[in-house]
């Protein structure tokens, strides 16, 4: 009974705020004033390219780069602050950090095992933390409300901060880092034989030396399969980049439009959704890199054994 007495006024106030937001938004402006241009908020402008905030010499500092720097600073402060005074019996902040790190490490160890988890963890944990925190920090009110006005304009034309995930350069940089480390892990474990999966010309050379056209034909097929494998590794750069970029940009556009259409209350639901999306995208990017890393360090042994067996026959 007491809960219903509290819940009903809260629901009523929330409903009233949503109705007010709808009325003073573009829909209400179009219905009651005849023009959506008279809406309470200006029509949001989505810029695919990052906007330059200032220059350091000849280097352009964009709002997405500032966001990446801010994310890095916040993450460093959180983890340095949480581990500055380490104790055997952790305090609250240290305990939160340890739970987070242990959960992340446990996830990786469950996929690749303890043998490789320690090697993969520093890189993959850094990627996960950066992607997730960058998405979450971008939900702060300073992102859409602080910026610069162009001459003659009455609304912000250049935002001071913008999520780095909406700048294709950041997802591409993370994709390149992921690609380089996966290949480096494969080379570290298998050395030069790791490259045999990509450059399979042995069958062609053996067929030519032994004057066997059939062996040359099957060797050419094997070499083509190796080429496809090499191409598939480079295609990961595109899939990683556009998956993260597309989801982050779509989230930004949805928040802009919902806030413009229904100013109060309704955007909160989408903010909670974006918190979930940020974590999920970080987990997907990290998980795919983890799986590709596991494939690089384990499956090549089986493939080389199969090739050796075929050669013996």
pTM: 0.81
Collect the ranges in the chain with pLDDT lower than 70.
1-44, 152-154, 264, 299-313
In contact, 255 and 272? CB cutoff 8 Å? no
pLDDT reported for residue 31? 63
Segment 66-124, tens digit of pLDDT: 999 999 999 999 988 878 877 777 777 888 888 999 999 999 999 888 889 999 999 99
Residue 179 pLDDT: 95
pLDDT at res. 293: 93
pLDDT score, position 309: 37
Q: Give the pLDDT confidence score for residue 311 in this predicted structure.
A: 37
């Amino acid at each position: 009974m007491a809960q219903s007495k509290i819940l009903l006024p809260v629901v009523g106030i929330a409903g009233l705020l949503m109705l007010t937001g709808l009325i003073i938004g573009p829909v209400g402006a179009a219905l009651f004033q005849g023009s959506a241009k008279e809406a309470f908020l200006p029509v949001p402008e989505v810029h695919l390219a990052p906007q330059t905030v200032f220059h350091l010499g000849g280097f352009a500092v964009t709002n997405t780069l500032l966001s990446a720097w801010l994310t890095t600073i916040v993450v460093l402060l959180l983890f340095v602050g949480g581990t500055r005074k380490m104790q055997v019996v952790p305090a609250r902040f240290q305990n939160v950090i340890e739970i987070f790190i242990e959960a992340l490490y446990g996830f990786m160890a469950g996929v690749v095992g303890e043998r490789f988890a320690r090697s993969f963890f520093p890189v993959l944990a850094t990627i996960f933390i950066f992607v997730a925190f960058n998405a979450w920090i971008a939900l702060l009110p300073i992102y859409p409300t602080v910026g610069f006005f162009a001459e003659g304009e009455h609304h912000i034309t250049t935002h001071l901060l913008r999520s780095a995930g909406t700048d294709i350069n950041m997802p591409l940089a993370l994709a390149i880092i992921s690609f380089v480390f996966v290949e480096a892990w494969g080379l570290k474990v298998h050395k030069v034989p790791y490259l045999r999966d990509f450059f399979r010309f042995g069958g062609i050379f053996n067929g030519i030396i032994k004057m066997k056209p059939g062996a040359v034909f099957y060797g050419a097929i094997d070499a083509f399969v190796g080429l496809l494998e090499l191409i598939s590794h480079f295609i990961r750069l595109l899939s990683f980049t556009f998956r993260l970029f597309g989801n982050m940009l779509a989230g930004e556009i949805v928040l802009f439009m919902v806030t413009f259409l229904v100013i109060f209350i309704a955007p909160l639901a989408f903010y909670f959704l974006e918190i979930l999306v940020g974590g999920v995208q970080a987990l997907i990017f990290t998980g795919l890199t983890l799986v590709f890393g596991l494939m690089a360090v384990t499956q090549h042994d089986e493939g080389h054994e199969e090739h050796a067996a075929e050669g013996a026959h």
